[in-house]
Amino acid sequence: AQSVTQLGSHVSVSEGALVLLRCNYSSSVPPYLFWYVQYPNQGLQLLLKYTSAATLVKGINGFEAEFKKSETSFHLTKPSAHMSDAAEYFCAVSDHQGGSEKLVFGKGMKLTVNP
Amino acid sequence: KAGVTQTPRYLIKTRGQQVTLSCSPISGHRSVSWYQQTPGQGLQFLFEYFSETQRNKGNFPGRFSGRQFSNSRSEMNVSTLELGDSALYLCASCRYPGTGETQYFGPGTRLLVL
């Protein structure tokens, strides 16, 4: 079965600092991995995804993530945080066996950006 | 192109009542999935439908049910509501499941059970 671990629930960075959100996964099949962002009172918006192409994936708003099979990781980074990045971030793995697109989410990480 | 729409956006119900939530996917998307989001349990998968057939079901009691219509619109129903059913219910759509396609989420329906 697929699972995702996001250690911790909150991270705080200064504006302009590096953002690093960690995600480790477990999957019995080659994984499809996703990062979603959720702003208050809104749904989820896809930041980026990995579906077995390039291991370094670039997404929207300057975010990128690197798939590392040996470490079963898919950490999200952004070189310079902006105030507008304050939101909750979810890592997810797709249970795509049998033609399903069920997403298994991590617990989420709330990002605070300090001026 | 219009995004995923969910109605209603907010609902207040009392214990024991039932509720029906609606989701209209993006035009051309034939797969709809539902998720429950709570502070304690996070995001949990409820169901997945494709071409009016339930493809997958999460670990929820039988009080939770769903269906998909021929126009791909989907509804989910919760009967005999409990306080713990208070949550944000999110719907997502994509064209074809199982291929790593991006799932697009709606804004959610926030259900409060009193």
| Residue A96: predicted pLDDT | 74
How many whole angstroms separate alpha carbon B92 and alpha carbon B108? 9
How many whole angstroms separate alpha carbon B74 and alpha carbon B51? 11
How many whole angstroms separate alpha carbon A106 and alpha carbon A95? 13
* Best mutation target, B29, B33, B56, to test chain A (most A CBs within 10 A): B56
Q: Which residue of chain A has the CA closest to B31?
A: A101
Contact B88, B108 (CB under 8 A): yes
Q: How far is A24 from chain B (nearest CA, A)?
A: 17
How many whole angstroms separate alpha carbon B73 and alpha carbon B94? 12
Asked whether residue B61 carries a pLDDT value surpassing 90, the answer given is: yes
- For residue range A58-114, what is the model confidence (pLDDT) as tens digits? 999 999 999 999 999 999 999 999 999 999 999 999 877 777 889 999 999 999 999
Q: How far is B103 from chain A (nearest CA, A)?
A: 8
Subunit contact A100:B103, Cβ cutoff 8 A: no
Give yes or no for B103 touching A (CB within 8 A). Answer: yes
How many whole angstroms separate alpha carbon A21 and alpha carbon A107? 12
How many whole angstroms separate alpha carbon B16 and alpha carbon A29? 41
The closest CB to that of B97, out of A92, A101, A104, belongs to A101
Burial class (CB in 10 A: 0-12, 13-18, 19+), A72: middle
Query: DSSP letters along A20-83, please?
Result: EE--EEE-SSS-EEEEEEE-TTS-EEEEEEESSS-SEEE-GGG-EEEEETTTTEEEEEESS--G
How many whole angstroms separate alpha carbon B21 and alpha carbon A84? 31
* Rounded average pLDDT over A17-40: 93
How many whole angstroms separate alpha carbon B25 and alpha carbon B49? 11
Asked whether residue A17 carries a pLDDT value surpassing 80, the answer given is: yes
